[in-house]
Structure 1
Amino acid sequence: MITSDEGVGDLQPLWLSDSPASADLWAQLRGEHAASGLWPLLLDSLDPHDADFRPWDCGELSPERMSSPDEHDAEEILARWWQDHTATDEDDDQLTAEERQAVTAPFGQTWPGTAATRSISADPDEMAGQYARAFLTQNPQARLGLVSAPRGADALTAVGWDGPANYDNDTATFSAVVRGWEDRFGARVVGVGCSTLHLSVAAPPSALEEALAIAAEHFAFCPDNIWQGAHRDLVAYAGHLIDLNCWEFWWD
């Protein structure tokens, strides 16, 4: 059991394995979640060669200062973040106003609203198991974590993860958004790193128009995916999302 280093030493939000995880065990524990109440996470560290396995093994977790996802409306949060990320900043020496508009074209500074719900034909939990196997192939050092939470989105808040803290230090706001993706697209929380989040997706967009609406949500949720990613504008990023069964986020 891992004790949070933020409190007075009596809150243990995470059970962490001593050794690397296996995809079969992750899938088994995810299947038992309804009975156990424990959501399994594949946890990666800031530095795979660091014996402290930060932030997990050393307890760099902050569940005490998080609110509840129940207190937040996902669409309102995304709209607020969109306005923050598209606002013209006279002190910004990286992007001009025109460049900011180009990044989020065709929407510009106008929040387009959340994407429509997709029809979920694939089994979200089966898809999550497949992605867990792929994730561990790429991150064989990842360990297994168990968090008491009613769903994967809530596990991010319950464990006190603060990967996106440079944008919003209350993880419950991010959990509220991920809840919506779980319901609308069959997303499942599979892997979490120090500042990364890895979701499986059972119902990804199949056409560019659908993908653009989802890309707008992703930009609001994690602008670094576009500002510092391989796809440097919304249209290019949307094309990348078509038929993609995993969504991965990284905050600087």
Structure 2
Amino acid sequence: MITSDEGAGDLQPLWLSDRPASADLWAQVRGEHAASRLWPLLLDSLDPHDADFRPWGCGELSPERMSSPDEHDAEELLARWWQDYTGTDEDDDQLTAEERLAVTAPFGQTWPGTASARRICADPDGMAEQYARAFLAQNPQARLGLVSAPCGADALTAVGWDGPANYDNDTATFSAVVRGWEHRFGTRVVGVGFSTLHLSVAVPPSALEEALAIAAEHFAFCPDNIWQGAHQDLVAYAEHLIDLNCWEFWWD
């Protein structure tokens, strides 16, 4: 059991395995979630050679200061973040106003609203198991973490994960958005790193128009995916999302 070292020191929000996880074990524990109420996470560290396995092994977690996802409206959060990140600040020395608007074209500064829900015809849990195997193939050092939570989205807050803290240090806001994706697109939280989040997606977009709407949500949720990613404008990023069964986020 891992004790949080960020608060009073008496919360243990995480059970962490002492060795790398297996996809079969992850799938077994996830299948028992309805009864156990323990959500399994494949956890990666900041440095695979770090004996402390930061942030998990050393308790670099902050469950005490998180609010509840119930307190936040996902659509309002995304709209507010979009306005924050598309604003044309004259003092911004990173991008000119024209460059900033080009990144989020065709929407510019206009928030397009959230993407429409898709009919979930695939099995979200089966897709999560497939992605867990792919994730572990790329991250064989990942360990199993168990968190008491009603779903994967809420597990991020319950464990006190601080990955997006440079943008918002209340992880409950991000959990609220991921909850919506669970319902609209059949996503499941599979892997979490120091500042990365890895979701499986049962019903990804199949055409550019719907992919653009989802890409806008991703930009509001994690602008570094585009600002510092391989696809540095919304259209290129949206094309990348078409038929992609995993969404991966990284905050600087």
Q: TM-score, normalised by structure 1?
A: 1.00
Shift of 1:89: 1.5
Q: Secondary structure at the match of 1:42?
A: strand
Shift of 1:169: 0.4
Q: Secondary structure at the match of 1:24?
A: helix
CA distance in 1, matches of 2:156, 2:10: 19
How far the C-alpha of 1:91 sits from its partner, in A, is 1.9
Residues 172-230 of structure 1 show CA distances to partners (whole Å, capped at 9, x for unaligned) of 00000000000000000000000000000000000000000000000000000000000
Secondary structure at the aligned position of 1:12 is classed as: coil
Shift of 1:28: 0.4
Mapped to 2, the partners of 1:237 and 1:9 lie a distance apart of 42
Q: State the partner residue of 1:234.
A: 234
Tell me the alpha carbon deviations over residues 64-92 of structure 1, each in whole angstroms, 9 at most, x when there is no partner.
00000000000000000000000111221
> For each residue in 1:131-188, what CA deviation from the matched residue of structure 2 results, as whole angstroms up to 9, or x when unmatched?
0000000000000000000000000000000100000000000000000000000000
C-alpha displacement of 1:119: 1.2
CA distance in 2, matches of 1:230, 1:9: 40
4+ long deviations beyond 3 Å = none
Residue deviations 1:6-61 (CA, integer Å, cap 9, x gap): 12221000000000000000000000000000000000000000001000000000
User: Matched residues in 2 for 1:248 and 1:18: separation?
Assistant: 25
Q: What do residues 91-114 of structure 1 show as CA deviations (whole Å, max 9, x unaligned)?
A: 211100000100000000000000
Q: Aligned-residue CA RMSD in angstroms?
A: 0.4
2:223 aligns with 223
Matched-pair identity in %:
91
The CA distance in 2 between the partners of 1:149 and 1:192, in whole Å, is 15
When the two structures are superposed, what TM-score results if normalisation uses the length of structure 2?
1.00
Q: What is the DSSP-based 3-state SS (H/G/I as helix, E as strand, rest coil) of the residue aligned with 2:140?
A: coil
Task: Return 5+ residue gaps in structure 2 as ranges.
Answer: none
Aligned to 1:53: 53
Task: Name the CA distance, whole Å, in 2 between partners of 1:229 and 1:6.
Answer: 31
Q: In structure 1, list runs of 5 or more residues that go unmatched.
A: none
Give the distance between the partners of 1:75 and 1:97, measured in 2 at CA. Answer: 25
